[in-house]
Structure 1
């Protein structure tokens, strides 16, 4: 097992190296002091999204959504519940595909909401559509159990 893991700060974009055993101690970014694994859903811009999905060693679930999407808005509280339940071992974030259409093009996203699970710089799995927190958690746990 790794002694340290990398996690990108959603606020400033800085990559932080953290002791893996200390993830549950609510680590903060060494540059800006923002929480790194506190169970909240981070809002990503395109640069931070690209950096986190390529380099983070902590599992990251990203919700690809848009403000005009009714199912996306309905799922948001469920996504937040799943984030709180799975912290600090899994981090949750979202990116607005309307503001950043390139992300949809680059990833071949055809419909939203779409959850993509990233781990150690690779896309591990996708879950399309709106889902309750329990299903999101089961998707993440089941996928990580078979991939790690």
Structure 2
């Protein structure tokens, strides 16, 4: 692994070059000065999805969901808790399939909630169905260990 990683700011989408060891020291974006990691789940749209998935050099886990979906709503707090635990090693994000149908179609999302694990622009794994916090963390860590 390289000692330098590119991290896309979830606020302004600027790419930041950081030494890997600085990820745990609450780094700020060089452009907008906001925190690169806040333990918050990023909400992705068409433009931000491409930037975050393709240019980040840390894995991204995306929750494909919809506001009308009961299991999606029940899993949302667990996904948010998992983000607090997994950052800065893993970035967590959400895509609303109703407003971002092009993205959902591109990745052939058939059921929701669906979690998709991306690394360097490629889908490496996916998991369908609602999970609790511990199950989300366990799944993400098991995928991370494989790659």
TM-score by length of 1: 0.94
What per-residue deviation string (whole Å, max 9, x for no partner) do you get for residues 71-104 of structure 1?
1111000001111111211111111111111011
In the other structure, the counterpart of 1:116 is 116
Q: Size of the alignment, in residue pairs?
A: 147
What per-residue deviation string (whole Å, max 9, x for no partner) do you get for residues 18-53 of structure 1?
211000011122111222222211111211111211
In the other structure, the counterpart of 1:128 is 128
Counterpart-to-counterpart distance in 2, 1:30 and 1:70: 39
- Could you list the runs of 5+ residues in structure 1 that have no partner in the other structure? none
Counterpart-to-counterpart distance in 1, 2:139 and 2:27: 25
Moved beyond 4 Å, runs of 4+: none
Counterpart-to-counterpart distance in 1, 2:34 and 2:95: 18
Counterpart-to-counterpart distance in 1, 2:100 and 2:38: 25
In the other structure, the counterpart of 1:48 is 48
In the other structure, the counterpart of 1:69 is 69
In the other structure, the counterpart of 1:90 is 90
Q: Secondary structure at the match of 1:85?
A: helix
- Correspondence list, 1:127-146, <5 A: 127-146=127-146
- Correspondence list, 1:32-43, <5 A: 32-43=32-43
Q: Secondary structure at the match of 1:2?
A: coil
